[in-house]
Amino acid sequence: SACSNARAFGVRAAMPMGRARALCPDAVIVKPDGRKYAKAGKQVRGLMEQTTPAVEPVSIDEAFLDLSGTQRAHNATPAQTLARLAARIADQVGITVSVGLSYNKSLAKIASDFNKPKGFVVIGRDDAQDFLNPKPVRIIWGVGPAQERRLHAAGLRTVGDIAARSPEDMRELFGGMGTKLAHLARGEDNRQVNTARHQAKSASSSTTFGSDHADFETLKSLLWGQCETLARRLKRADLGGRSITLILKSSNFKVQTRSKTIPDPTQLAEVIFQAVLPKLLEAADGTKFRLIGVRVSDMVP
C-alpha cells in the first residue's frame, strides 16, 4: 500500500505564552484564529477524501491516506496523485502542504517531516534502510526526549544502531517499546490506515488574559464570549452535551473546575452560559484569574 502524510504548514509554540511574554515584554503577539484553522482543515480534509476514501485524520492539520488501488481511478501513480492533491490544496485553500509517501505509516510520517514547508519526499522499499540508518534515533515516530536519552545511554544514537540489534536484545533493554523500535528501525510497520471516525467526547473553549482579572462582571463578559465560541463549534459538529464545566486558572497557575449536569443535551450558548454562571459567581471571591473557559461533555449527536 502507499500511505501519505499531508501536513498543513503552521507555527507551533515552543514555550508557554506567559514565559515568552516575560522574556520578551515588547513582543507583538498575534492571537490565533481557531475558526480559520478549522475552516482550512475541513477544506483540506474534503480534498483528501475526494482523492481516496481511506483517510485517517491525526490532527486538524495532519492525516494518513491509503492510496492502494487508486492508480486506475486517477490514471496516475500515487506520487502523481499526491502532487496533484498538493496543487489543489494550494489553489483552493491557499496553503502549502508537506507530503511523505512510502509503503507504511511510520515511513510516510518520517518523510512528511522533511523539507518543510513544501516538501515532497518519497521513501521506497529498496531505499528505506539506507535512508534510515544514518538518521538520529529521534526521527523514529514516538521517540521523545526521554526515550532519546535512554537510547543514547545504551549507546544507540542512530537508527542504524538500533537496526543492528535484534528485537530480542532491544526487548531486554527497553521492554515492549524496544521490540517496537527494532521493527520501526528496519522500516517495518504493519499498522493500517484507520478510517473509523470517533465521536468527540468533549469540546471546550478558553482564553488566557493579557492581565489577571478578579472582577465578576469582567469575568462574566469573558465567559459569555467563550460560550458563544463553543456553541459555534458544537453546531458545526452537530453535537450537544449534558455536562457543562467552568474552567478557571488563577494567577498562581492553579486550575479549578466546577461542573453542572443539565437534563437535556445542548449546543446553545445561552444554555451553556446559564449553567455555569452560578459556578462563576461562587468562584469570584476576589481571586485573580488568568484564564477562563468552558467545556461540554457527555456528548450526543
Q: What is the pLDDT of residues 72-88, one digit of tens each?
A: 889 999 999 999 999 99
pLDDT at 197: 63
- With cut-offs at 50, 70 and 90, classify the pLDDT of residue 121: very high
Question: Which residues pair with residue 241 across a beta bridge?
Answer: 266, 299
pLDDT tens track for 211-266: 899 999 999 999 999 999 999 989 888 889 999 999 999 988 889 999 999 989 99
Q: Phi and psi for 279 in degrees, rounded to 5?
A: -65, -40
pLDDT beyond 60 at 10: no
d(CA 216, CA 213): 8
Q: Which amino acid is at 289?
A: F
pLDDT beyond 60 at 1: no
Helix (H, G, I), strand (E, B) or coil at 46: helix
Stretch 191-201: mean pLDDT, rounded?
77
pLDDT beyond 50 at 11: no
39 vs 109, higher pLDDT: 109
pLDDT tens track for 138-151: 999 889 888 999 99
pLDDT beyond 50 at 9: no
Cell for 93? Answer: 485553500
Q: Is the dihedral of CA 106, 110, 113, 118 positive or negative?
A: negative
Check if 188 is active-site: no
The active-site residue out of 49, 62, 148, 270 is 62
Spatial CA neighbour of 267 closest among 241, 300, 299, 243: 241
Burial 268-289 (b: 16+ CB within 10 A, else e): ebebbbebbbebbeebbeeeeb
pLDDT at 22: 87
3-state DSSP of 108-173: HHHHHCCCCCCCEEECCCCCHHHHHCCCEHHHCCCCCHHHHHHHHHCCCCEHHHHHCCCHHHHHHH
pLDDT tens track for 223-233: 999 999 999 98
pLDDT at 2: 42
d(CA 106, CA 127): 15
Stretch 48-68: mean pLDDT, rounded?
89
